[in-house]
Amino acid sequence: MKQPDFTNLGDHLVLNFLNTLQHYRGQEIDLIDSPSHLVQWILYMEQHQWLSASQRERLITQGTWDLTQVQQFRQYGRAFLGGSASRVLFFNYLSGVSQQCPLTFSLVDHGTHVERIAVPNRGGTAGLLSLLSYDFMGLITSDMLSRTKQCESSRCIAYFVNRSGKRKWCSMETCGNRQKSLRHYKRRYTSH
Ligand SMILES: [Zn+2]
């Protein structure tokens, strides 16, 4: 089966997850519309160092998937970032989700830095959503929440952490170039 194109990485694990909902020609595209696509997303996150091997192993070998719950989490998370969900209710929701499955922590020494890794006690939906809730709480309690913004491309709904404060697009390769060539086209053919 062809792997969906998980290109919209947002500089935070949970944003990468929220970006599995995309827009294409006015249609919503759900990149994790089946358990096998969800597992492919987890493998992709490991390949790009957003998840460790121990996290990936726990998530995909010990659990079953409830896609409705996973998609609800994504929808609610997107509504919170978009400002249309109550903060208090969303914070309570994240607490409730994390209570479904405890996490244990370990430290991995990379030489140049030490990484803290949270591994859920179970895999599948409960483990994934607990891990994503923890990551979301990390985003909310850091200064990264105020830097989280949505891509300025009219065709894109991806979220990303705007670390420089100047970034406009989720990715220069896709949305950035597309917008620039669109502007170039407009200047060339419409402004005289
Ligand atoms: Zn974009």
Q: Report how far ligand 1's centroid is from the alpha carbon of 9 (Å).
A: 10
Q: Which domains does the chain have, with CATH numbers?
A: 13-190 (1.10.3300.10)
Q: Report how far ligand 1's centroid is from the alpha carbon of 77 (Å).
A: 18
Q: Report how far ligand 1's centroid is from the alpha carbon of 122 (Å).
A: 33
100: left (phi over 0), alpha (psi -120 to 50) or beta: alpha
124 vs 163, residue with greater confidence: 124
132-156 pLDDT tens trace:
999 999 999 998 999 999 999 888 9
Please report, in angstroms and rounded to a whole number, the separation of the first and last CA atoms in the chain. Answer: 49
- Strands (E) across the chain are located at 21-24, 27-30, 103-109, 114-120, 148-150, 159-161
The pLDDT assigned to 177 comes to 77
- Strands (E) across 2-141 are located at 21-24, 27-30, 103-109, 114-120
33-52 pLDDT tens trace:
999 999 999 999 999 999 99
- Across the range 90-99, mean pLDDT stands at 97
Residue 74 above 90 pLDDT? yes
Q: Report how far ligand 1's centroid is from the alpha carbon of 168 (Å).
A: 9
Residue 179 above 90 pLDDT? no
Q: Report how far ligand 1's centroid is from the alpha carbon of 76 (Å).
A: 20
Residue 192 above 50 pLDDT? no
